[in-house]
Amino acid sequence: MKDSILLIGKGRVGTALGSCLRTQKIPLVHRAGRGKFLPDIPKARLILIAVKDSAVSDVAKKIHQSRALKPGSFLAHFSGSLSSKVLRGNGCFVFSIHPLKSFAFPEGKCSDFQGIPFIFEGDKKAIKPAEKFVKILGGKLFQIKDKNKILYHAAACIASNFLVTLVSMAAALNKKAGISERKSQSRQPELFFIPLLSSTLKNIEKMGIPGALTGPIERGDFSTVTEHIKALKKNAPEILKTYRILGLETLKLARLKGLSEKESNLLKMLLKNP
């Protein structure tokens, strides 16, 4: 990729992208999203907007008003929920590529992007340049139709954001259970679950779903689930609804893994019972 890239946005994704592209010796102009980035903005063949979703369309408008776009240029953003249509104007080609990773603490190295899926949506003419760009980062390009993008984004939120929520709920329960740590080992309560979470993720990677499922529902252990419900009713009734809903979803997986219909029906009654 000989043409220079113009990257707008110095947040988590913008910073990670900027440092990876510089490491790869790609000619790059990197500007913050806010402020006066327009007056001396250079022309570029590929312009990437890495600002918060609600500002993407405004930044795109500013770019269209500037002289940054050459004929046949490509304009892209990284949002998982927005369509590339928000970038349209002045006849350039538009696309979005959503890196399927959580950038809470990007290391600022190309390893931030190594092997991760980038979900492409946009103009057909943009597929090749997008693929080239993703290859530079070390990622893999996948395609999605514009109309299905929001569904894909909901899936990503369930897998990542809701996992954080679940760990937070588990940590709150553990606090009520009164697990105490030796002072010298004092740490955040959620860290307690890291070995369990890591092994579960490894199991999913190695064995897939439902193979990776373990626990009382998978084993058809009626008495343990009964005791869980009793304990939650008494100590954390606010969590019971979530336990029941996720328990019923887990039961479907347990059934797929081989739990008998009889055991499954008993557990279903127990989990549904208010």
Ligand X SMILES: NC(=O)c1ccc[n+]([C@@H]2O[C@H](COP(=O)([O-])OP(=O)(O)OC[C@H]3O[C@@H](n4cnc5c(N)ncnc54)[C@H](OP(=O)(O)O)[C@@H]3O)[C@@H](O)[C@H]2O)c1
Using CB under 6 A, list all residues that contact ligand X: 9-14, 32-34, 50-53, 55, 58-59, 77-80, 98-99, 102-103
Q: Of 53 and 227, which CB lies nearer to ligand X in the complex structure?
A: 53
Provide the minimum distance between the beta carbon of 6 and ligand X in the complex, in angstroms, as a whole number: 14
Q: Of 156 and 248, which CB lies nearer to ligand X in the complex structure?
A: 156
Provide the minimum distance between the beta carbon of 119 and ligand X in the complex, in angstroms, as a whole number: 10
Provide the minimum distance between the beta carbon of 274 and ligand X in the complex, in angstroms, as a whole number: 38
Provide the minimum distance between the beta carbon of 107 and ligand X in the complex, in angstroms, as a whole number: 13
Alpha carbon distance, N-terminus to C-terminus of the chain: 61
Provide the minimum distance between the beta carbon of 33 and ligand X in the complex, in angstroms, as a whole number: 3
Q: Of 103 and 243, which CB lies nearer to ligand X in the complex structure?
A: 103
Three-state SS string over the chain comes to: CCCCEEEECCCHHHHHHHHHHHHCCCCEEEECCCCCCCCCCCCEEEEEECCCHHHHHHHHHHHHHCCCEEEEEEEEECCCCCCHHHHCCCCCEEEEEEECCCCCCCCCCHHHCCCCEEEEEECHHHHHHHHHHHHHHCCEEEECCHHHHHHHHHHHHHHHHHHHHHHHHHHHHHHHHCCCCCHHHCCCHHHHHHHHHHHHHHHHHHHCCCCCCCCHHHHCCHHHHHHHHHHHHHHCHHHHHHHHHHHHHHHHHHHHHCCCHHHHHHHHHHHHCC
Q: Of 10 and 268, which CB lies nearer to ligand X in the complex structure?
A: 10
Provide the minimum distance between the beta carbon of 208 and ligand X in the complex, in angstroms, as a whole number: 25
Q: Of 59 and 254, which CB lies nearer to ligand X in the complex structure?
A: 59
Q: Of 146 and 181, which CB lies nearer to ligand X in the complex structure?
A: 146
Q: Which residue is nearest to ligand X (CB)?
A: 11
